[in-house]
Amino acid sequence: MEMSPRGALNRQRTIQDIESAFLTLYQRDGIDGVSISGICQACGIARSTFYLYFEDKFAVLQGVEDRLLSALWEICRNLPDVMDHTSGTETALSTVTHIRENLEWYRALLSNRGDPMFVYRWKKDIVESLRRKLEQRNVTKLDAEIQGVLFSSALIGLYTHVTMECPDIPDRTLCRYMDDLLARSLRQPITPAQPY
């Protein structure tokens, strides 16, 4: 049976209320301090209502993380030519816009109480996206992987700093830093260490 538009809207509102209550508790207490009863009390629903939408508190977190990473992947999966730094600006601006639109979630996930698996999965997506472009330019698989790891670690470090410490940095300035990180990560191929 198909859900009515009003039923779909109510469902979406309930999910948003649950996620919002989860976020408030998660920011304050970390995942260990989040409880189903706390979520239900904060958004004014019965436990049975919570379980209509989520299996447990981890499912709430997983659902939000999946949604954020999926949005980032949609923005970045078809990166322009990585050596043409001017064409990446729109992708960078779209990424910054997405993060700003979900700033409270990114603050929670990137904080010291955040989920390290979120960062790990995000890095893997960045590495995969960049690796494809580098391999198109005949960069070896290992070099592409390492350059991707360097760039993703630095980029997420930059996002973490901006999100936590200076969220008012202008978008174009942030994009300039992102472009500089990419340029530094791709500056020269990695050469194996020489034996002594």
pLDDT of res. 9: 76
Position 83 pLDDT exceeds 70: no
Residues 11 and 44 placed together within one structural domain of the fold: yes
Residues 126 and 150 placed together within one structural domain of the fold: yes
Position 110 pLDDT exceeds 70: yes
**Cα dihedral sign for 40, 67, 111, 164?**
negative
- Arithmetic mean of pLDDT, 150-163: 92
C-alpha torsion angle, residues 85, 82, 96, 91 (rounded to 10): 90
Per the structure, the complete domain to which residue 30 belongs is given by 1-54
Residues 138 and 177 placed together within one structural domain of the fold: yes
- DSSP annotation of 188: S
pLDDT of res. 86: 54
| Alpha-carbon span 178 to 159, nearest angstrom | 9
Residue 163 inside a domain? The answer is yes
Residue 190 inside a domain? The answer is no
- Of 54, 71, 96, the last residue of a domain is 54
Q: How many domains does the chain divide into?
A: 2
- Of 16, 38, 54, the last residue of a domain is 54
Q: Residue 175 in contact with residue 86, Cβ under 8 Å?
A: no
Residues 94 and 158 placed together within one structural domain of the fold: yes
Mean pLDDT check: name the lowest of 58-67, 155-164, 181-190.
181-190
Residues 119 and 31 placed together within one structural domain of the fold: no
Residue 195 inside a domain? The answer is no
Position 136 pLDDT exceeds 60: yes
Residues 21 and 116 placed together within one structural domain of the fold: no
Mean pLDDT check: name the lowest of 54-58, 127-131, 180-184.
180-184
Residues 6 and 47 placed together within one structural domain of the fold: yes
| Helices 57-76 + 36-43 axis angle, to 10 | 80
Position 14 pLDDT exceeds 70: yes
Domain of 82, CATH number, reads: 1.10.357
- Which amino acid is present at 44? G
Position 190 pLDDT exceeds 70: no
Residues 25 and 77 placed together within one structural domain of the fold: no
Domain of 8, CATH number, reads: 1.10.10.60
